[in-house]
Amino acid sequence: MRSLLYVPGISERMILKARDTAADALILDLEDAIAPEQKLEARATVARLLGEIDFGGKEIFVRINSLATEWGLEDARAVAAVGAPGLIIPKCESVEAVTIVAPVLQSRYHKPIGGQTRKLLCLIETPRGVFASREIAESDELVAGLMFGAADLSRELGAVLSEDETEVLFARSQTLLAARAAGVAAYDSPHFAIDDLEGLRRRCQSARNLGYDGKAVIHPSHIGIVNEVFAPTPEQIIEAERVVAAMAVARSEGRGATKLDGKMIDQVHLSAAKKVLEQSRK
């Protein structure tokens, strides 16, 4: 996934419009986008629409409320019961949060809609979450990725974010390292300045250069840039194909490494090349 579009769970109209965008995934939001007095209505709306709407090939996640609230666990139970294939745990700070939610999603009585695979994404957006991120990422086979939340984290730190967000670079890198150590995906936080498309591109490129797989999106106008930046370039695809071909020849000759353009390549390069080709087919 390159782009994960947040959509308020209270709005059927916005969810239908989001379905028709180029976003790779939709996040039906029951948390930040919903006022307290609308929480139950939003939950009911999302539960109903999960059973009524054909989302095509999009991956679907529901961001539940924090487990520390009165709504969080009941959100998970309600949407899992009607086939929500993916849940996002906000403000995830410990393995305990995963062990509470995972059994709800994994119940054999709940079949995910669209034949999708059950997945959990854990939102790392507090100091405790950053330091526990590796344990969280490794806690359950359902955990498919970590999401970094710069906005909430900066508020908890008392930080004022500059344009390049260097104030949270350690936490952003720690979250990525935790995801990679666990062998799961990593998704960067949204760009909140809706009309600042140049800034969006810079932030996407920075996250991509760091190693992130994709980025959360809060407005449909951001989807195109996010998809473009996080997709492999034609040059990267050609290079990956050459690495795969060179390693295939090396294997046929009983070697685990070989030279390509005067540089030594091995299994590490092969794995990276295969990842590029996999991304290019999405």
What are the structural domains, with CATH classification, of the chain? 3-230 (3.20.20.60), 234-280 (no CATH)
Give the Cα separation of 33 and 155 in Å (integer): 17
Q: Say what the pLDDT of residue 21 is.
A: 97
Report which of 179, 87, 100, 167 is spatially closest to residue 133, judged by C-alpha positions.
Answer: 179
Amino acid at position 278, single letter: E
CB atoms within 10 A of CB 128: 13
Q: How many Å separate Cα 60 from the centre of its chain?
A: 11
Give 120's strand partners.
Answer: 87, 143
Give the Cα separation of 22 and 90 in Å (integer): 24
Amino acid at position 260, single letter: L
List Cα–Cα distances, 276 to 1, 146, 234, 252, in angstroms.
13, 20, 10, 23
pLDDT in tens, the chain (282 residues): 999 999 999 999 999 999 999 999 999 999 999 999 999 999 999 999 999 999 988 999 999 999 999 999 999 999 999 999 999 999 999 999 999 999 999 887 677 887 788 999 999 999 999 999 999 999 999 999 999 999 999 999 999 999 999 999 999 999 999 999 999 999 999 999 999 999 999 999 999 999 999 999 999 999 999 999 999 888 888 998 999 999 999 999 999 999 999 989 998 899 888 888 887 776
List Cα–Cα distances, 239 to 21, 235, 258, 280, in angstroms.
30, 6, 15, 12
The counts of H helices and E strands in the chain are: 12, 10
- pTM summary value: 0.87
| Burial class (CB within 10 angstroms; exposed 0-12, middle 13-18, buried 19+) of 234 | exposed
Listed in sequence order, the DSSP H helices in the chain are 12-19, 39-52, 72-81, 95-106, 127-131, 133-137, 150-157, 169-182, 197-210, 223-230, 234-252, 267-280
Pairing of strands 86-89, 185-188: unpaired
Q: Say what the pLDDT of residue 275 is.
A: 80
